[in-house]
Amino acid sequence: MSPLTTAIALAIASLLASVAAAQDVNYDESKVPAFTLPDPLIDASGKAVATPEAWRSRREEIFRLFEDHVYGRMPGKVDVRVAVTEEPTEALEGKALREQITLHFGPRENGPAMHLLIYRPNEAKEPVPAFLGLNFFGNHSIHPDPAIHLSKAWMRESKDKAIVDNRATEASRGKSASRWPVETIVGQSYALVTAYYGDLDPDYDDSFGNGVHPIFEPPHSERPLELWGAIGAWAWGLSRALDYLESIDSIDAKRIAVFGHSRLGKTALWAGACDERFALVISNESGCGGAALSRRRYGETIERITTRFPHWFCGKLWTYNGREDAIPVDQHQLIALIAPRPVYVASAEEDRWADPKGEFLSLVHAEPVYRLLGKKGLGTSEYPRVEEPIHGEAQAYHVRKGPHDVRPFDWQQFLKYADEVMK
């Protein structure tokens, strides 16, 4: 089946699943079932975890559970060849330097590659902190700058983003700029590093015949339950980008905030759990499989997400469709894996599909781990008012007005919090 045919079939299946899901989705807080969350501070033997040293062992237990039951086991590093496709060049009316780098993975010349776009302050006298995040429609989509290389990769069809026959067009330039305030980020003395998520794994179910998966294992007609999914591949790529940032002098790799929205918010959380080098983890409206508690069964559920996007997770997650209480982890433990590093979870009032309250409660129920490790979390279990952010020492949260999106209000808070915890 060709990528185009696969994409059309996936779109039809996704639409049918959406229609079916809309008929019985729960948006009523009174219908959230009673549930008991697994305690991150009780180990597999039933023993209480009372010291930071004991937490390291417990953390390993929880991490393996997420690998085996949610995201799949991520492979290690691979040979990477770095190609500079644009040397540092003045951009944004001289306020920034723009660089473009390609990371080639594996031994094949025509193998998978990730294309990094970097904007950094032009007149910085020392290495700067950075925001690192994947984008949905190519690097050229985040800013109308005509010098950004136009992605040639497969993309999901989108009339709004000027994607035609699953390929970007010149009209695609800057179509996602509202979500990426490049001038603001650079103006506050941060670098921005981004790459197209489809470079790492095209976002359709093709038995993992494309992207980085074939470097490690052949395509599977019958998928092993433990095989890592697309979220794992995207998170793996974020770590490879961080490897590169550690090799250059212009960016302070010890002060990297990993950021993601929606499915890439799930990715940012998993990347932050897998790679403890990330200094700050930011999840924007990540919902089910991200920051939202699965056991609430509010909005999107495990069954809905694995039906619509079977390639995102490991196959074992499908076995919990309609059985959320049986899964041995929940998403507050994913937040706990990031501790004691700071984490920011953001929601939108109209994005009920992502369960804003469930996202907030993951922070609340992860806070005991932060306290054990000597850090303060949100300091409250009371859900905040809209656009009244809570910035704790190592946890932050806000819910803003509006729908599923990344808005200026979100970035204002992310930058403010980054100033607090990384500067």
The residues that are catalytic are 262, 404
Handedness of CA 122, 239, 241, 194 (dihedral sign): negative
Neighbours of 62 (CB within 10 A): 22
Q: Write the DSSP assignment of 176-188 as a string of letters.
A: TGGG--HHHHHHT
Query: Which residues, 6+ apart, have CB-to-CB distance to 343 below 8 Å?
Result: 269, 272, 280, 281, 282, 283, 335, 363, 394, 395, 396
Residue spans of beta strands (DSSP E) within 9-139: 80-91, 96-105, 113-121, 128-135
Following DSSP, what letter does each residue of 107-170 receive, concatenated?
S-TTS-EEEEEEEEETT-SS-EEEEEEEESS-GGGG---TTSPPP-S----BTTTTEETTEE-G
Do residues 314 and 226 touch, judged by C-beta distance below 8 A?
Answer: yes
- Compute φ and ψ for 407, nearest 5 degrees: -115, 165
Please give the biggest Cα pair distance in the chain.
Answer: 60
- Total residues belonging to the chain: 423
* Residue 22, CA distances (Å) to 26, 87, 238, 288 in order: 9, 49, 33, 16
- Is the distance from CB of 2 to CB of 297 less than 8 angstroms? no
- Which pair of tokens denotes residue 396? 């932050």
Q: How do 80-91 and 390-391 pair as beta strands?
A: unpaired
Structure tokens belonging to residue 36: 């008991």
Rg, C-alpha atoms of the chain: 20
306's CB contacts (< 8 A; 6+ apart) are 312, 313, 317, 318, 321
- Which residues lie closer than 8 Å to 109 by C-beta, 6 or more apart? none
Beta bridge partners of 9: none
Query: How do beta strands 128-135 and 191-196 pair?
Result: parallel
**φ, ψ at 84 (rounded to 5°):** -85, 110
